[in-house]
């Protein structure tokens, strides 16, 4: 439901979304290195597939996003990963639309960037696996919360008649926030145990 469809938002909102997305793509892709491409590809695929996993909530259904997990693993490269995923989702499955890709990328990509920065800064002094996993869980939930908030704001720019839709958006994504927090925490904990270099952090044993 965080994929806004074509024909909903006013032109100024669409233009602003594309302007911000274009600027962030230029800034983030400047940091792309050849060795980053495999990880970028894997996380783009994970984000793409997540949208296909729907589960019912009340009279509708919602799907996973994993923008928090993408942010934790990719950092600044999370924005182009999400942008590419959204382009593929729009073209192949009609999720959202073409004109709103800029806005949808902003809604999901900016929280991923924020989470990536926070995770990197908060674990730089070495955390235990358990604490880092708990941090990942919290940030995974925050990422979805921010995405929902940004989507709600974008919808509000289309007019107050969408207030009911916005309320449903927020309500129905509460389970998604919980699920993604749990999944992100588990994945972060797993990676720190088997391949911590993927997250670019150093961990210590509890009590060390």
Domains and CATH numbers, the chain: 11-199 (1.10.1760.20)
Range with lowest mean pLDDT among 38-42, 55-59, 150-154, 174-178: 55-59
Given this model, what pLDDT does residue 61 score?
A: 57
pTM of the model: 0.91
C-alpha distances (whole Å) from 155 to each of 3, 17, 34, 201 are 11, 12, 38, 37
Residue recorded with tokens 């009911």: 164
Task: Measure the CA–CA gap between 156 and 3, rounded to whole angstroms.
Answer: 14
Task: State both tokens at 46.
Answer: 């994970």
Task: Measure the CA–CA gap between 142 and 135, rounded to whole angstroms.
Answer: 11
Instruction: Determine contact, residues 112/46, Cβ cutoff 8 Å.
Output: no
Least Cα distance to 119 among 32, 198, 31 occurs for 198
């Amino acid at each position: 439901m965080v994929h806004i469809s074509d024909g909903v938002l006013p032109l100024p909102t669409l233009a602003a979304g594309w302007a911000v997305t274009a600027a962030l793509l230029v800034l983030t892709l400047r940091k792309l290195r050849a060795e980053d491409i495999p990880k970028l590809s894997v996380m783009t695929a994970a984000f793409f597939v997540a949208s296909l996993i729907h589960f019912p909530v009340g009279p509708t259904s919602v799907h996973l996003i994993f923008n928090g997990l993408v942010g934790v693993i990719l950092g600044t490269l999370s924005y182009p990963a999400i942008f590419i995923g959204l382009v593929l989702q729009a073209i192949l499955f009609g999720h959202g639309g073409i004109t709103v890709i800029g806005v949808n990328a902003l809604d999901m990509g900016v929280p991923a960037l924020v989470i990536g920065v926070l995770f990197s800064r908060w674990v730089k002094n070495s955390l235990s696996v358990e604490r880092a996993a708990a941090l990942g869980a919290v940030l995974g939930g925050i990422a979805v919360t921010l995405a929902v908030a940004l989507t709600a704001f974008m919808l509000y720019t289309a007019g107050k008649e969408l207030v009911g839709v916005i309320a449903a958006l927020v309500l129905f994504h509460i389970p998604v926030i919980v699920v993604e927090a749990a999944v992100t925490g588990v994945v972060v904990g797993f990676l720190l145990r088997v391949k911590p270099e993927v997250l670019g952090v150093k961990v210590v044993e509890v009590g060390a």
